[in-house]
Amino acid sequence: MTNVAIIGTEKSGRTSLAANLGKKGTSSDITMYNNAKESRKMVFVDSHGYPKALKSLITVLNISDMAVLCVPPDGLDRNNPASVHTGECIVALDLLGFKHGIIALTKSDSTHMYAIDELIKKIKLMTAGTSLQDWECISLNTNKSAKDPFEGVEDLKAKISEISEKIEAEQAELNSLPTRVFIDHAFNVTGKGCVVLGVVKQGISKDKDKTKIFPMDRDIEIRSIQSHDVDIESAPTGTRVGMRLKNVQAKDIERGFIISDKEIISTDYVLECTISRFTRAIETSSVLHLFVGLQSEPVRVEKILVDGKEVKEAKPGSTCVMELLGNKKVAYSKEDRFLLANLDIPQRFAGYGFTK
């Protein structure tokens, strides 16, 4: 199953596009749209809580295999204050090393051919050398009263389908790894108990599995699994699932909790970091926002080391080792990529890192 993130700046046409691709389901700061009727099952996730909240963007990206970046006609216009967020989305995708995606040039009915060509040139310049450099640009609209209504939407669907074939092959390779399920929603259902929604990030999750939930580090059992509202016995990598859990209450589960046999739990981190070229220097004692999986929290920069020597600041475009201190327990695995953000500046993403 392919999970598709629909991202972009405010008013970039994200919700209109997502609503065109699937039927609305669960909604919080992110909204799921399912295409349950089609043979190739997909979930499209609208990150509508962004740009106000970075968490909405990162959550959507970390539960997805592919992204559709929506860029409206004025999406890179210097005079448009919202354009900083188009750039911010590109920085986020690049820092995450996000492989698969498409750039949707939205609202094609409200612009001109030559303007679209100019926009594509700008995008190509901005994304050169990033993980988005080979992403295809597709011009489209979702306006039924346009001269050319829904122009480009079928092209987009075809391209998504083409990419999802590659994604399914990649997911199949992850089935042999230890099972990890990222939880994005948890609630109590009368008569059913604790229900969580999330995505199988690796391995195969099975009905009646005895496993654990982190960072609680508590033994649980999977009572049942559903996908697209149908009961299933096992959920391979990539499946968006609903699960009933035994021995845990929904009120104790937060977004980002992980169902897995083993995770690292920590409140402080030593990360090998790469600082973005598009941020400010990061100083010791400053506060950054840390994201890993679907978890996030503020952390204090305790120490910065370059070539083993302590320094006062980490410069944009450089690499360093950063010691960070947080408050709450966070669960992760050695291969997980951490993202760092500075919430005080317009383009908020600051860098990424892995634990040493």
* Euclidean distance between CA atoms 268 and 288, whole angstroms: 13
Beta bridge partners of 242: 197, 226
Q: Does 9 sit near Mg ion (CB under 5 A)?
A: no
Range 94-153, binding ligand GDP (CB under 6 A): 106-107, 109-110, 141-143
Task: Please state the φ and ψ torsions of residue 110, each to the nearest 5 degrees.
Answer: -110, 20
User: Which of residues 107 and 212 has its CB atom nearest to ligand GDP in the complex?
Assistant: 107
Q: Does 11 sit near ligand GDP (CB under 6 A)?
A: yes
Identify which range of 42-50, 211-219, 253-261, 347-355 contacts Mg ion by CB under 5 A.
42-50
Q: Does 85 sit near Mg ion (CB under 5 A)?
A: no
- Applying CB under 6 A, what is the total number of residues that bind ligand GDP? 16
Q: Does 73 sit near ligand GDP (CB under 6 A)?
A: no
Q: Does 15 sit near ligand GDP (CB under 6 A)?
A: yes
Minimum gap (Å) between residue 90 Cβ and ligand GDP:
16
Minimum gap (Å) between residue 75 Cβ and ligand GDP:
10
User: Which of residues 15 and 171 has its CB atom nearest to Mg ion in the complex?
Assistant: 15
The contact pattern for ligand GDP, residues 18-57, with x = CB under 6 A and - = no contact, is ------------------------------x---------
User: Which of residues 11 and 246 has its CB atom nearest to ligand GDP in the complex?
Assistant: 11
Minimum gap (Å) between residue 135 Cβ and Mg ion:
22
The contact pattern for Mg ion, residues 272-291, with x = CB under 5 A and - = no contact, is --------------------
Instruction: State the binding partner of 164 from Mg ion, ligand GDP, none, CB within 5 to 8 A by kind.
Output: none
Q: Does 240 sit near Mg ion (CB under 5 A)?
A: no
Q: Does 228 sit near Mg ion (CB under 5 A)?
A: no
- Among the listed residues 4, 14, 237, 258, the single contact to ligand GDP using CB under 6 A: 14
Beta bridge partners of 104: 70, 138
Q: What is the three-state SS of the chain?
A: CEEEEEEECCCCCHHHHHHHHCEEEEECCCEEEECCCCCCCEEEEECCCCCCCHHHHHHHHHCCCEEEEEECCCCCCCCCCCHHHHHHHHHHHHHCCCCCEEEEECCHHHCCHHHHHHHHHHHHHHHCCCCCCCCEEEECCCCCCCCCCCCCHHHHHHHHHHHHHHHHHHHHHHCCCCCEEEEEEEEEECCCEEEEEEEEEECCEECCCEEEEECCCEEEEEEEEEECCEEECEECCCCEEEEEEECCCHHHCCCCCEEECCCEEEEEEEEEEEECCCCCCEECCCEEEEEECCEEEEEEEEEEEECCEEECEECCCCEEEEEEEEEEEEEECCCCCEEEECCCCCCCEEEEEEEC
- Among the listed residues 48, 107, 212, 228, the single contact to Mg ion using CB under 5 A: 48
Q: Does 13 sit near ligand GDP (CB under 6 A)?
A: yes
Chain positions contacting Mg ion, by CB under 5 A: 15, 48
Chain positions contacting ligand GDP, by CB under 6 A: 8, 10-16, 48, 106-107, 109-110, 141-143
